[in-house]
Structure 1
Amino acid sequence: MPALFISVMRTGVPLVAGWLLTLAVKTGVTIDSDAVTYAVTVALVLVYYVVFRLLEVLGSRLRGTALQRFSGILLGWARPPQYPDAGGSLPPLTGTVSSRDPL
């Protein structure tokens, strides 16, 4: 279930960030029909993604490959994302970094 949350956040956060950037570009942010349209669009896209992602997870748990494939196609890819398990830690750094090294 953590992979589901991660994938939803990876979709929702950029949508919200894009909406906030759009609002920031406008001077004097007010609640007008454009702002409402942006907010509704973001909400609908997020709901669409969450519904079909949940159906995809449900299909994989019920061994229902048809449900999983159908939901995946409606999300743009027939298979759910698979994130490698990093074991909870990063690999050790090799070498040293000095303050003189360029970034």
Structure 2
Amino acid sequence: MYDFLVSVWRTVVPTLVGLVGAQATRLGFHVEDAQLTAWLTVAFSTVYYAAFRRLEQLRPGWGWFLGIARPPAYARPDADLLALRDRQ
């Protein structure tokens, strides 16, 4: 459950940063289109996440910019479960 919450938090933080970045962009420009604001939010969020995820791979401390300085760890499925899935 903890890894799930970590993954959600590490998604929320870049999204909030993207929203703030998109709104900050609007300070200098008059943007009325809600769809443009949505695309700017997605763009800022994606670039932010990708940059800090890459930096985190080089130095783990950069992970704090994603909310938590530890990426979630997912367990590998058992061989029995994989064999059962393959039979279906």
Normalising to structure 2: TM-score of the pair? 0.50
Instruction: Please identify which structure carries the higher helix content.
Output: 2
Aligned 1:38-53 pairs, distance under 5 A: 38-53=38-53
Q: Which structure would you say has the larger RCO, counting Cα contacts within 8 Å and 6 or more residues apart?
A: 2
2:73 paired with 1:79: no
The runs of at least 4 aligned residues of structure 1 exceeding 2 Å deviation read 87-93
User: Post-superposition shift, 1:38?
Assistant: 0.4
Distance 1:33 1:54, change over 3 A: same
Aligned residues: 56
- Partner of 1:43: helix, strand, or coil? helix
Stretches of structure 2 lacking an aligned partner (at least 5 in a row): 1-6, 16-31
Alignment of 1:90 onto 2:81: yes
- What TM-score does the superposition give when structure 1 sets the normalisation length? 0.44
Structure 1, unaligned stretches of length 5 or more?
1-6, 16-31, 60-67, 94-103
The higher radius of gyration belongs to 1
